[in-house]
């Protein structure tokens, strides 16, 4: 637990938890999207609302192409999720402190029960990865039995977004603590990384040079952070064109 | 007005009112009253438009409104200062948003400005109420002609010289001079 | 209203100067004084006498408000914002367009009753209250619109600056919190500023009414008699308000603009948004004032005496200047955004002009610039109520388009092309019409309940004005009474 005297603003370039995504090996299979929805109790908005830009996935696979038909060339798929910015633009604009920076985990938190639904955070997110509960969507019958008990459900009028599966982080930390040790790299991972059949997504401690994410970042050497020029200090690194 | 009460019954003095159609006769009448020994604090002028004290040669009115406004702006500033400087540290752990300081610079100016203005304007409004004893629904000396643009002078004179004053006022152009009556406004 | 004009020019006056003086009298309310008692009864009659047409319009508007505002809002609260048109990426839609629009409308009242009062623009006198009423009622609609916008409106009180049950104060870093403080300050202060000069007129109405109206005016007049002290306190307070409310007014729309300008979005992140929005607010506000005055003059009894061609002329001149200022700020914003060369901003500017809503962009420029410039340069046209009514209408449509382009259309384009999508309004339409109907309804109700003309201010102005002879020329001259 953090003590008040330890509090300092986190302005370092590197956060604590991070992710590397290798776009070259992403097949666009959407397994991460499905796994995330299962893990985080994301509602199903249905075809109509989804088609109108109201899908609520916390991670999405962006597909692009170059050229005009028929000379179309696919470019690598781009999984897009909350970048857990070190200097998040969504945070200061919330009037209710519903989205704040976790000083312990260096993550960007979303506090559902504080949210009043002004949607300013979503407008101010350059990555457009926040999803809003436009309605109280119904869950088809058997699926209502598969809620993850570690994650709250959200009602209409509330903003939500990727949490880097903070429930898994906490579970791993609690287990490690009860066993009197530190969390080991690779001991747990996020739902999207776990589900990825091509292992395109890797999750871990970016502040630990020996972790897999840090090693991958070094090995590739040419990772990019999206919209880095905005100064948001994102914690997700993308590899493309290796 | 069924339950009019006349001042006569209460003292040896009588409260008279003279209604004038215009500023100049009213100013002359005030001079005349002073010459007849009525002091300025025993006269009161009621008008339907803001007649300045200088127009009638009356001592200038004391008003607390600017002082109250200044006091209110200080209170508002303090409320704003509490919000911006104190509330971020009222939590066990200050809440970090983005990489902005716990007490951010420019937003502090915005909050201080708004609350200072709010305090100032609220207390100005309140000042009018306090200084004018609003709301006041007690029966007061009043004539309705005032809201038709006439100027009414109320003054207190000895019972026995009532006639003398009535004549003096009529000579200066008073449309009516009579014993002032309290009215339920 | 020829019957009210005073014709008392001495017969020996030269025919030419006679007719000139007469012309000036007919033109200027301030030179055409009536006994105060007569003006009082004219204003009272304008409140008392109501035609059946008023009640028909009133009933229709009530139905629209009941359905468009309250029923539709209830549906939206029960169903969620899914019934509206907001989506990703246009998280903000017509609700905020209307909020900005109504706050813009509200700026006209303060502009007229504070700025024109401070600068002693005498033509303001008969319609300061008519404009101030728009401020208060416009802000009520802005409040409705911004609450509609919220996902969980039933928790709106969480934004108030108090420690909630978790001892959490609002986030003072957020432009929305500043907005709440600024709009609250503005709503309270403009309502107080509406009320202070109203007290003497309420006392006037109290003295000449009976029944429930008597009770109503008596209660609101607070026992005002018009003593020297009361006037002194009132004068002082109105002076403080006139000066202090101007920076508040500027701050309100500047902060509204910061909701956009402080965001990390192409097209929004512009340092000129503050003054650009303030001028835009005045643009639509003045257009709305002139529309209201044209309707008041045309429909209410005796108003042709109080509101004359000179007033339309005066406001229309301001409209023309403000339109030019708006064009200047618009071009300044556009030029710098275009020159900056940011690829997303370029995409956005191209989308504004050539996208599916390009017609709106061109309509905005025509309505906000071309229409007022083409019409208002001509004194005869700008003095004609129905012509300036139409110009005011176009300006308001144009300014609504401007906000629509800035909010949902600009939100359609962002730095994540995968999410680009156009916004299509849903339940926003009945709700928006509902706020408009509610504004008109409140205004109609108020016009029958409170004296729309500040009679004492008109009388004061008439005292201060006279005709003065300079050689052979007769001119209007004003004395400074304060």
B116 with B79, same domain: the answer is yes
Evaluate whether C107 touches C278 at the Cβ level (below 8 Å): yes
Best B17, B45, B49, B175 residue to mutate vs chain C (most C CBs within 10 Å): B49
Based on the fold, state whether residues B45 and B69 are members of the same structural domain: no
Which residues of B fall within a CB distance of 8 Å from C231? 47, 50-51
Q: Is residue B2 a part of any domain in this protein?
A: no
CB contact under 8 A, B49 and C463: yes
pLDDT band at A12 (very low <50, low <70, confident <90, very high): low
Side-chain-facing half-sphere of B29: CA atoms under 13 Å:
32
For residues A206-221, give the mean pLDDT.
88
Report CB contact under 8 Å: A103, B101: no
Q: Do A93 and C175 touch (CB under 8 A)?
A: yes
What are C415-445's pLDDT values in tens digits?
Answer: 999 999 999 999 999 999 999 999 999 999 9
Distance from CA of C148 to the nearest CA of A (A): 10
Q: In this complex, which of A89, A95, A114 lies closest to C177 when CB atoms are compared?
A: A95
Q: Which residues of A touch B (CB under 8 A)?
A: 2, 4, 7, 9-11, 86-89, 91-92, 94, 97, 99-101, 103
Domain assignment present for B143: no
Four-residue CA torsion sign, B64, B70, B72, B74? negative
**Between chains, do B97 and A7 touch, taking CB under 8 Å as contact?**
no
Tally helices (H) and strands (E) across chain B.
5, 6
- In degrees rounded to 5, what are phi and psi of residue B173? 105, 15
Residue B1 lies in a domain: no
Going by pLDDT thresholds of 50, 70 and 90, the confidence category of residue C56 is: very high
Mutate to test the interface with C, among A75, A79, A96 (most CBs of C within 10 A): A96
Q: Among B93, B99, B104, whose Cβ lies nearest the Cβ of A87?
A: B99
pLDDT of residue A11: 54
B158: domain CATH number? 3.30.70.260
- C59–chain A nearest CA distance, Å: 34
Instruction: Please tell me which chains touch A, using 3 or more CB pairs under 8 Å as the contact test.
Output: B, C
CA dist A242 and A25 (Å) reads 10
Q: Is the pLDDT of residue A189 over 80?
A: yes
**For residue C440, how far is the Cα from the chain centroid?**
12
**Mutation site, C78, C81, C262, C414, interface A, largest A CB count within 10 A:** C81
Rg (CA), chain B: 26
In this predicted structure, the answer to whether residue C396 has a pLDDT above a threshold of 80 is yes
Report residue A161 as tokens: 């977004």
Q: What is the pLDDT of residue A122?
A: 94
**Alpha-carbon distance B82 to nearest alpha carbon in chain A (angstroms):** 17
CA distance A173 to chain B (A): 21
A2 contacts on B by Cβ (under 8 Å)? 93
Which residues from B are below 8 Å from A when comparing CB atoms?
92-102, 104
pLDDT of the residue at C8:
47
Neighbours of C426 (CB within 10 A): 19
Is the confidence at residue C11, as pLDDT, over 60?
no
Q: Are A149 and A56 in contact (CB under 8 A)?
A: no
- Collect all residues of chain B within an 8 Å Cβ-Cβ radius of residue A103: 93, 96
**Closest in A93, A132, A230 to C176, CB measured:** A93
**Residues of A whose CB is below 8 A from C256:** none
Selected for mutation to probe chain C from A134, A160, A233 (highest C CB count within 10 Å) is A134
Please indicate, yes or no, whether residues B174 and B121 belong to a single structural domain of this protein.
Answer: no
State the pLDDT at residue C180: 93
Give chain B positions within 8 Å (CB) of C195. Answer: 125
Mean of all residue pLDDT scores within chain A: 89
Percent of chain B scored above 70 by pLDDT? 94
- Which of B52, B122, B148 has the CB atom closest to C482's CB atom? B52
**Does A49 contact chain C (CB < 8 Å)?**
yes
Q: Is residue B55 part of a domain?
A: no
Place of tokens 């000179």: C310
**Can you tell me the mean pLDDT for B8-35?**
83
Quick: pLDDT tens for B80-122: 999 999 998 888 888 889 888 888 889 999 999 999 999 999 9
- Residue C14 at interface with chain A, using a CB cutoff of 8 Å: no
Determine whether the interchain pair B114/C189 forms a contact, defined as Cβ–Cβ distance below 8 Å. Answer: no
Residues from chain A that touch C421, judged by Cβ atoms under 8 A, are 52-53
Question: Do residues B74 and B126 share a domain?
Answer: yes
pLDDT classification of B51: cutoffs 50, 70, 90 = confident
**How far is Cα C297 from Cα B56, in angstroms, rounded to an integer?**
37
The alpha carbon of residue C114 is apart from the nearest alpha carbon of chain A, in Å, by 31
Give the whole-number percent of chain C exceeding pLDDT 70: 96
Q: Best of C195, C222, C458, C480 to disrupt the B interface by mutation (most B CBs within 10 Å)?
A: C222
Q: Report helix, strand or coil for A196.
A: coil
Please judge whether C173 and A120 are an interchain contact, meaning their C-beta atoms are less than 8 angstroms apart: no
Mutant choice from B90, B98, B103 vs A, greatest count of A C-beta within 10 A: B98
Q: What is the mean pLDDT of residues C357-379?
A: 95
- Among B45, B90, B185, beta carbon nearest to C167: B90
The per-residue pLDDT for C287 is 94
Interface touch B96/A94, C-beta < 8 Å: no
What pLDDT score was predicted for residue A9? 58
Q: What is the pLDDT of residues C81-118, one digit of tens each?
A: 999 999 989 999 999 999 999 999 999 888 888 988 88
Neighbours of C21 (CB within 10 A): 17
Which segment of A22-26, A187-191, B37-41 scores lowest on mean pLDDT? B37-41
Whether residue C178 and residue B52 make contact (CB cut-off 8 A), yes or no, is no
pLDDT, mean of residues A205-228: 88
Whole-number pLDDT of residue A4: 46
Q: B167 with B124, same domain?
A: no
Min distance A227 CA to chain B CA atoms (Å): 16
Burial of C470 (0-12, 13-18, 19+ CB in 10 A): exposed
Question: Quick one: B75 and B127 in the same domain?
Answer: yes
CB contact under 8 A, A93 and C419: no
Residues B88 and B125 both lie in one domain: yes
pLDDT (tens digit, 9 = 90+) per residue, C158-194?
Answer: 999 988 888 889 999 999 999 999 999 999 999 999 9
B142 located within any domain: no
Q: With CB atoms and an 8 Å threshold, state whether B111 touches C181.
A: yes
Query: Is pTM, for the whole model, over 0.80?
Result: yes
- Chains touching C (3+ CB pairs < 8 Å): A, B
- Name the pLDDT band for A199 (thresholds 50, 70, 90): very high
Mark yes or no for CB contact B96/A10 under 8 Å: yes
Interface touch A9/B92, C-beta < 8 Å:
no
Residue to substitute from C76, C79, C80, C262, interface A, most A β-carbons within 10 A: C80
Does residue B1 carry a pLDDT above 50? no
Same domain, B122 and B158: no
d(CA C116, CA A115): 43
Kindly determine whether residue C456 and residue B48, on different chains, have CB atoms separated by under 8 Å: yes
Give CA torsion, residues B139, B143, B145, B150, to 10 deg. -120
Residue of C nearest to B87 (CA): C169
Per-residue model confidence (pLDDT) at position A242: 66
Residue B120: inside a domain: yes
Q: What is the pLDDT of residue B149?
A: 85
Whether residue B177 has pLDDT greater than 70: yes
Same domain, B99 and B155: no
The answer to whether the CB atoms of B99 and A103 lie below 8 A apart is no
- Taking 60 as the threshold, does the pLDDT of residue A128 lie above it? yes
* Same domain, yes or no: B86 and B38: no
For residues B74 and B115, state if they share a domain.
Answer: yes
Number of domains within chain B: 2
* Confidence check: pLDDT of C16 > 90: no
Mean pLDDT of chain C: 90
In chain A, DSSP assigns E strands to 17-22, 59-62, 65-66, 73-74, 78-81, 99-101, 108-110, 131-132, 159-160, 201-205, 236-239
Say whether A127 and C416 touch across the interface (CB within 8 A).
yes
**Burial bucket for residue C182 (CB in 10 Å: 0-12, 13-18, 19+):** buried
Contacting residues of B for C169, CB less than 8 Å apart:
83, 87-88, 90
User: Under 8 Å CB-to-CB from C265, ≥6 apart: which residues?
Assistant: A123, A124, A126, C410, C411, C414
Per-residue pLDDT band at C145 (split at 50, 70, 90): very high
Domains and CATH numbers, chain C: 32-147+180-190+235-446 (1.20.1630.10)
Whether B102 is covered by a domain: the verdict is: yes
Give the least confident one: A161-170, B30-39, C12-21, C332-341. C12-21
Residue matched to tokens 């290798």:
A22
Place of tokens 């299979």: A29
Domain span including residue B174: 7-49+149-183
Comparing alpha-carbon positions, the chain A residue that sits nearest to B91 is A4
Predicted confidence (pLDDT) at residue C372 exceeds the cutoff of 80: yes
Cβ–Cβ gap A2/B93 under 8 Å: yes
pLDDT at residue C275 tops 70: yes
Nearest chain C residue (CA) to A52 = C87
Alpha-carbon distance B119 to B123, whole Å?
6
Same domain, B165 and B123: no
Write down all domains in chain A, each with its CATH number in brackets. 4-239 (3.30.70.20)
Q: What is the mean pLDDT of residues C17-38?
A: 85
B contacts of C235 (beta carbons < 8 Å): 50
């Amino acid at each position: 637990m953090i003590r008040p005297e330890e509090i300092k603003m986190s302005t370092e370039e590197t956060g604590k938890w991070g992710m590397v995504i290798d776009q070259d090996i992403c097949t666009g299979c959407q397994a991460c999207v499905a796994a995330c929805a299962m893990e985080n109790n994301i509602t199903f908005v249905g075809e109509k609302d989804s088609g109108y830009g109201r899908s609520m996935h916390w991670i999405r696979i962006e597909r692009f192409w170059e050229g005009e038909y028929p000379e179309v060339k696919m470019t690598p798929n781009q999984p897009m999720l909350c970048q857990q910015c070190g200097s998040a633009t969504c945070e200061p604009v919330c009037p209710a402190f519903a989205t704040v920076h976790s000083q312990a985990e260096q993550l960007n938190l979303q506090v559902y029960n504080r949210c009043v639904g002004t949607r300013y955070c979503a407008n101010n997110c350059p990555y457009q990865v926040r999803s809003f509960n436009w309605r109280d969507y119904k869950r088809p019958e058997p699926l209502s039995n598969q809620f993850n008990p570690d994650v709250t459900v959200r009602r209409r009028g509330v903003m939500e977004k990727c949490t880097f599966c903070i429930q898994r982080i906490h579970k791993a930390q609690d287990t490690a603590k009860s066993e009197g040790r530190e969390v080991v790299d690779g001991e747990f991972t996020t739902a999207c990384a776990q589900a990825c059949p091509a292992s395109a997504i890797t999750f871990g401690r970016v502040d630990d040079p020996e972790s897999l994410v840090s090693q991958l970042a070094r090995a590739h050497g040419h990772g990019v952070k999206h919209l880095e020029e905005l100064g948001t200090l994102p914690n997700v690194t993308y590899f493309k064109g290796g | 007005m069924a339950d009019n009460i006349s001042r006569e019954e209460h003292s040896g003095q009588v409260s008279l009112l003279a209604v004038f159609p215009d500023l100049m006769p009213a100013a002359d009448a005030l001079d005349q009253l002073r010459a007849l020994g009525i002091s300025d604090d025993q006269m009161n002028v009621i008008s339907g438009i803001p007649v300045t004290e200088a127009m009638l040669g009356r001592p200038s009115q004391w008003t607390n409104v600017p002082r109250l406004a200044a006091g209110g702006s200080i209170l508002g500033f303090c409320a704003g200062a509490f919000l911006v400087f104190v509330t971020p540290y009222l939590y066990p752990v200050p809440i970090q948003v983005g990489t902005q300081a716990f007490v951010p610079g420019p937003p502090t100016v915005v909050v201080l400005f708004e609350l200072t203005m709010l305090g100032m304007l609220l207390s100005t409004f309140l000042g009018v109420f306090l200084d004018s004893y609003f709301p006041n629904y007690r029966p007061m000396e009043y004539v309705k002609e005032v809201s038709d643009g006439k100027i009414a002078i109320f003054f207190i004179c000895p019972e026995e010289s009532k006639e003398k004053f009535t004549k003096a006022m009529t000579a200066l152009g008073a449309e009516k001079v009579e014993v002032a009556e309290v009215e339920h406004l | 209203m020829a019957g009210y004009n005073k014709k008392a020019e001495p017969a020996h006056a030269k025919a030419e100067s006679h007719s000139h003086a007469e012309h000036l009298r007919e033109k200027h309310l301030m030179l055409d004084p009536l006994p105060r008692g007569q003006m009082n009864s004219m204003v009272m009659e304008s409140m008392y006498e109501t035609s059946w047409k008023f009640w028909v319009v009133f009933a229709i508007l009530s139905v629209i408000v009941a359905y468009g505002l309250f029923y539709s809002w209830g549906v939206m609260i029960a169903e969620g914002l899914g019934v509206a048109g907001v989506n990703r990426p246009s998280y903000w839609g017509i609700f905020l367009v209307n909020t900005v629009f109504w706050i813009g409308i509200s700026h006209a009242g303060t502009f007229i009753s504070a700025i024109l009062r401070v600068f002693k623009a005498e033509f303001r006198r008969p319609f300061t209250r008519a404009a101030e009423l728009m401020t208060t009622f416009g802000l009520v609609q802005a409040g409705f619109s911004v609450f509609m916008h919220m996902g969980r409106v039933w928790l709106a009180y969480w934004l108030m600056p108090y420690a909630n049950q978790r001892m959490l104060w609002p986030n003072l870093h957020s432009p929305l919190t500043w907005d709440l403080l600024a709009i609250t300050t503005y709503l309270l202060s403009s309502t107080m500023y509406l009320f202070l000069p109203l007290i003497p007129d309420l006392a006037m109405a109290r003295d000449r009414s009976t029944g429930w109206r008597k009770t109503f005016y008596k209660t609101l007049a607070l026992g005002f008699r018009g003593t020297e002290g009361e006037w002194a306190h009132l004068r002082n307070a109105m002076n403080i308000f006139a000066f202090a409310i101007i920076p508040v007014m500027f701050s309100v729309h500047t902060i509204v603009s910061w909701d956009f300008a402080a965001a990390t979005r192409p097209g929004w992140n512009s340092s000129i948004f503050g003054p650009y929005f303030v001028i835009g607010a005045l643009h639509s506000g003045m257009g709305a004032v002139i529309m209201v005055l044209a309707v008041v003059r045309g429909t209410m009894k005796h108003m042709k005496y109080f509101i004359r061609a000179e007033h339309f002329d005066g406001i229309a001149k301001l409209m023309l200047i403000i339109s030019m200022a708006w064009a200047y700020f618009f071009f300044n914003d556009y030029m710098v955004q275009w020159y900056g060369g940011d690829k997303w901003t370029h995409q956005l500017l191209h989308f504004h002009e050539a996208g599916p809503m390009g017609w709106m962009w061109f309509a905005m420029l025509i309505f906000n610039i071309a229409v007022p410039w083409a019409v208002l340069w001509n004194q005869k046209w700008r003095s004609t109520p129905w012509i300036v009514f139409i110009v005011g209408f176009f300006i308001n449509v144009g300014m609504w388009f401007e906000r629509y382009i800035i909010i949902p259309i600009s939100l359609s384009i962002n730095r994540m092309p995968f999410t680009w999508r156009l916004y299509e309004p849903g339940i926003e339409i009945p709700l928006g019409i509902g706020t408009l109907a509610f504004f008109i309804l409140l205004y109609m109700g108020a016009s029958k309940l409170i004296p729309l003309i500040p009679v004492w201010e008109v009388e004061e102005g008439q005292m201060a004005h006279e005709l003065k002879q300079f050689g052979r020329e007769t001119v209007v001259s004003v004395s400074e009474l304060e």
